[in-house]
Amino acid sequence: MFLARNFTKTARTVISRGKHTLPKLPYDYAALEPIICREIMELHHQKHHQTYVNNLNAAEEQLEDAKCKSDTTKIIQLAPALRFNGGGHINHTIFWQNLSPEKSTPSDDLKKAIESQWKSFEEFKKELSALTVAVQGSGWGWLGYNKKTSKLQLAALPNQDPLEASTGLIPLFGIDVWEHAYYLQYKNVRPSYVEAIWDIANWNDISCRYQEAKKLS
């Protein structure tokens, strides 16, 4: 009993040292206006992303406790919470970096890959936009990199399902189409939001992710 208590205490100490935290935005809350207003950014970052972080930490603490107790039922029960909140944290951490108030363009290497697969950047943009707008309910549209084929690939996922854990694709550029990402400004006109977000896409970040992903092929 003494060993079990000590083991649980040690596990909790390790978790407290490695808790997930809300990443700082690389720009001011108003920096993406008029595409995304300050109010949306503040709510999205401070409230929604923070909630995913808090719930992920709580779920991981419960997981460690369940492992210490060899409570297999509890471990299985925690899987949805870990997927949802872990995905929310992963997805949003990428999302903030994927956006920028500074204009940018894809690297020559990424541009070449896009044009090779979609004939033109506009065709690529059109296909990813349509895929993203068509997400039923809440979810994400993604440009990813397939390590097996060494090619770019598009995907749409529901809820906060993380791209790599769900499909094996390495996330390069994600478009959040949960209503909290746009409703205060765009109401129910999701296509207008998706079209506008291309104007603040951070192609420097997306291009860097592409270069790093290629190293894994």
Binding residues for Mn(2+): 44, 92, 176, 180
The C-alpha torsion from 14 through 16 and 18 to 23, rounded to 10°, is 180
3-state secondary structure of 157: strand
Phi, psi (deg, nearest 5) at residue 155: -155, 150
Bind-site residues = 44, 92, 176, 180
Encode 20-41: b = buried (16+ Cβ within 10 Å), e = exposed.
bebeebebebebbeebbbeebb
Name the amino acid, one letter, at 103.
K
First CA to last CA distance, the chain: 48
